[in-house]
Amino acid sequence: MAATLLSALLVEILIPVAALIGMVFALIQWFLVSRVSVGGGQASINNGYDQSLLDDEEGYDDAEAVALCAEIQNAISEGAESFLITEYQYLGIFMAVFSVFIFLFLGSVGGFSTKWVSCKANPSELCAPPLANALFSTVAFILGALTSTLSGYLGMKIATYANARTTLEARKGVGEAFIVAFRAGSVMGFLLAANGLIVLFIAIVLFKLYYGNDWTGLYESIAGYGLGGSSVALFGRVGGGIYTKAADVGADLVGKVERNIPEDDPRNPAVIADNVGDNVGDIAGMGADLFGSFAESSCAALVVSSISSFGADRDFVAMSFPLLISSAGIVVCLITTIFATDLFVIKSVKEIEPSLKRQLVISTVLMTLAIAAVCYLALPSTFTINVVGHQPKVVKNWKLFFCVGSGLWAGLIIGYTTEYFTSNAYQPVRDVADSCRTGAATNVIFGLALGYKSVIIPVLAIAVAIFLSFSLAAMYGIAVAALGMLSTLATGLAIDAYGPISDNAGGIAEMAGMPHKVRERTDALDAAGNTTAAIGKGFAIGSAALVSLALFGAFVSRAGIAVVDVIQPKEFVGLIVGAMLPYWFSAMTMKSVGKAALAMVEEVRRQFNTIPGLMEGTVKPDYKRCVKISTDASLREMIPPGALVMLTPLIVGTLFGSSTLAGLLAGALVSGVQIAISASNTGGAWDNAKKYIEAGASDHARSLGPKGSDAHKAAVIGDTVGDPLKDTSGPSLNILIKLMAMEGTRDGVKLLCRLEEIVGGCCHCQVSLHSAKSEHEESLTSKFIVLSLVWRGKKCDILQDLPLVP
C-alpha cells in the first residue's frame, strides 16, 4: 500500500491545533458579545464601533426597562441552571450505574483475564487482555458522557448570557441584534466541535500508550465515547423537550387563547418557564444530541478503519482520516462565520433568512474543497476495506471524496428542503396559515399533510448518499458520509442556537416593555430562528440515519451476519417490532408533555383566577411555581422513554437472538427517520404559520389577523399541537435509532452473549458457526460464534471454553 503524503507527526500536530483554533475563535466571539452591556452602561458593540446602548435611532431612553432586561435575564439563567444541575444529578447516578454495568459485563466475557492474548489478525502478536478492554471502554464511556454534559451546559450558559444583549441591540436595528445572536450561537458551535475533537484525540493518544500496535482493540474501546455521548443526549433531549413544551403549551393555551394576552406577556405565570425551556431543550438538548452524532460517526469510522488495511499496515495517518475531516471542518466554519458577521451586514428583515442560508452554502462549498485536500494528503492511493461474507473491497482515495461529499451535500439538500417546508416565506406554510380561516381542524389537517410530504426529498437524499457511499467503500463509506454531513457542525450549531437566543430576546423585550419596533425586530429574528432550528433538526436526523446504518453494519459484522433475510420469521418479526418502537417512544414522550402541560394549564388558570390584580399588571405572578412544575415533570417523565431505548436491544437479543435483533435495529432506523422528519417539520410549519399571521407583513397575512382573531386562535392551537412534535418527540427519535444501534456494536454483542450465559438455567444454547469466506478473512476475523436462545423448561449445558465474538 502506498504511503500517505502527510506524516504521523504532522497529523498529531494538526488535529489539536485545529481544535485549539476553534476554542480561541469561540472565546473571541464571546468577548465581542460581552461588550454589549446589560446594565445600561456605555460600552456596546455595533459592528466593532463603540456606541451607547441608550442613544438609539428612536430616542428611546428607559433605564428602568434596561434594568428589567437584566433582571429577567438573571431569572431565566437561574432557572435553566437549576434544572440542568438537577438533571445532571440524575444523569450522574445513571452514568455511575451504567459504567459499572459495562465494566462488569465486558470484563466477565473474558473471565476478567489480565493476560495478553494472540491477535486475531496476526497470531504472532499480542493484543490487550479482556479486563483492559473493559476498563478502557468504561473510561471512554465516562469521557463521552462528561463531554456531552459539558457541551450542553456551555451552550445553555452562552445562550442565557446573550439573550438580553440581543434584545438591547435590537433597539438600534435588526442587523445589530442578528450579529449578537449569531455570534453567541457560534460560541456554542465552535466550543462543542473543538471540545469533542480534542477530547477524542487525547483519549486515543493516551489509550495508545497501553494498547501499542493493537489498533483494533484501541478503537473498539474508544467506541464507548460515542455510547456515553448519546446516553446523556437521550435524557437531555427528552427531559429538556418535556420541560420546554409543558411550559410553552401551558403559556399559549391560557395566555393567548383564553386570556387574549400577547406571547411572553409578563402577566403570564408560565412565561419564565417557557423561556427557560428554550435553553434547556433547544440549546442544551440539541448540543448534546449533535455531539453524540459526531462522537458516534467518528467512532464508527475509526473502528472500521482499524480492521481494514489501515490497521494491518498500522497507518496512523490514514486511520486518523475521520479526525482530519472534523479538523478541516472547524477551519472551514471559522471562515464561513466571518462572512456572516463581518463581510455581509444585515440591514433589513428580509435579509435574515438569506444570510443564514448563505452560511450553509458557503460552508458546504468550502468543505468540499477541504475534503478533496484531506483525501489527497491523508489517504494512500489504494487500500482495502473488509466486508463480512465477501472478499475485501479495494478502494481508491478519490472514492472516499465522493463518500464524504455525498453526506455533506445531502445535508445541504435536507437543510434547503426543511427551510422550504417550514419558512413562512414560501407557499407551504402560507397554505397552512390560510387553512386557519376555517378553524383549527383544517389547520391540523394541512399541517400533517405538509409534514408527510416534507419527508420525500430528505429520504431520497439520504438514500442516494447511502447507495453511493456503500457502493464505493462499503460500511466505511457510510460512516465517513455521516461525518461529511457533520463536518460543518460548528456552523450548523451556530445557526441552530441562534433561534432560541432570538426567541428569548423577543420574550425579554415583551416582558421589559420595550417599544413595539423592538418586538417587531425580535419577532423577525425569531421567525427565521424557527426555520433554522428546523434545519438543525434535519441535519441531526439525517446524520443519525447514516450513523445508525454504520453502527448497524458494525453489529452485523460482529455478529457474523452476512445477510439480513427479512423473509425469515425471526428477522421479519424483529423488523416489524423495530418499526413500531418509534411510535411507542413518541407516544410516551408526547403523553409526558401532555400530562405536564395539563398541570401547567391548571396552575396558570389558578393564578389568573385567584391572584387579585394579576390581569391588571399591578401584581407579579408566581413564576417559580411554574418552573417547578416543568422541572419535576420533565425529570420524572424522562425515565421510561430512556429505559425503553436502553433495554430493548438487550432484551430482544437475549431472548430471541442476533437475527431478530438485526431486524429490530433495521426497522427502528427506517421508521424512526421518517417519523422524526415529519414531526419536526410539521411542528415548525405550524409555529411559523402562527407567526405569519401575527406579523401581518402582507395583505394575505393581514386578512387572517390580527392577534386574537379566530384564524389566529386556530393557528395557536396548531402551534401547541406541534410543540411536542418538533421539540420533544421528533428530535428525540434520532437519539433512539443511534443509541439502539450503538448497543449492537462489538461491546453490545458481548453483553448479549454474557446475558445468555447468565440466564442459562432456563434456556438451551445453540451454537452456529459462520466460517469465514476466504483465507484472508479467516486470518482477520477467525470464526464468528452466534449464541441464539431457544426457550426450554430445563437447565441448559453451558458451552465451556468457546471463544466469543471476536
pLDDT digits (tens, 9 = 90+) for 166-225: 999 998 888 899 999 999 999 999 999 999 999 999 999 999 999 887 887 888 888 889
Cα separation of 183 and 180, whole Å?
Answer: 5
Residue 617's pLDDT band, with cuts at 50, 70 and 90, is confident
Smallest Cα–Cα separation from 469: which of 413, 410, 379, 399?
399
Residues contacting 417, CB < 8 A, separation 6+: 454, 457, 458, 461, 538
* Nine cell digits for residue 241: 423537550
The pTM (predicted TM-score) of the whole model is: 0.84
Digit-coded pLDDT (tens) for 341-358: 777 778 888 888 888 888
CA 148-551-469 angle, 5° bins = 110
Cα separation of 198 and 201, whole Å?
Answer: 5
What are the CA-CA distances from residue 112 to residues 19, 100, 217, 786 (Å)? Answer: 37, 14, 16, 21
Residues contacting 8, CB < 8 A, separation 6+: 316, 317
Smallest Cα–Cα separation from 220: which of 307, 146, 148?
307
Residues contacting 123, CB < 8 A, separation 6+: none
Cα separation of 271 and 787, whole Å?
Answer: 55
Looking at residue 152, its amino acid is: G
Backbone angles phi, psi at 799, to 5 degrees: -80, 120
Cα separation of 483 and 547, whole Å?
Answer: 8
Looking at residue 731, its amino acid is: P
Of residues 425 and 556, more confidently modeled? 425
* Nine cell digits for residue 424: 413562512
> What radius of gyration do the chain's Cα atoms show?
26
Looking at residue 511, its amino acid is: M
Question: Are 670 and 728 contacting, i.e. CB atoms less than 8 angstroms apart?
Answer: no
Residue 62 confidence (pLDDT)? 65
Smallest Cα–Cα separation from 244: which of 83, 91, 89, 94?
83
What are the CA-CA distances from residue 14 to residues 221, 258, 450 (Å)? Answer: 24, 59, 45
3-state secondary structure (DSSP) of residue 568: coil
Residues contacting 238, CB < 8 A, separation 6+: 589, 637, 638, 641, 642, 728, 732
Residue 389 zone, left/alpha/beta (φ > 0; ψ -120 to 50; rest):
left
Select, from the ranges 27-41, 59-73, 588-602, the one with the highest average predicted confidence (pLDDT): 588-602
Is the pLDDT at 34 greater than 70? The verdict is yes
Residue 645 confidence (pLDDT)? 87
3-state secondary structure (DSSP) of residue 525: helix
Residue 139 confidence (pLDDT)? 94
Cα separation of 617 and 383, whole Å?
Answer: 71
Number of CB atoms found within 10 A of residue 795's CB: 11
Cα separation of 547 and 228, whole Å?
Answer: 15
Residue 460 confidence (pLDDT)? 95
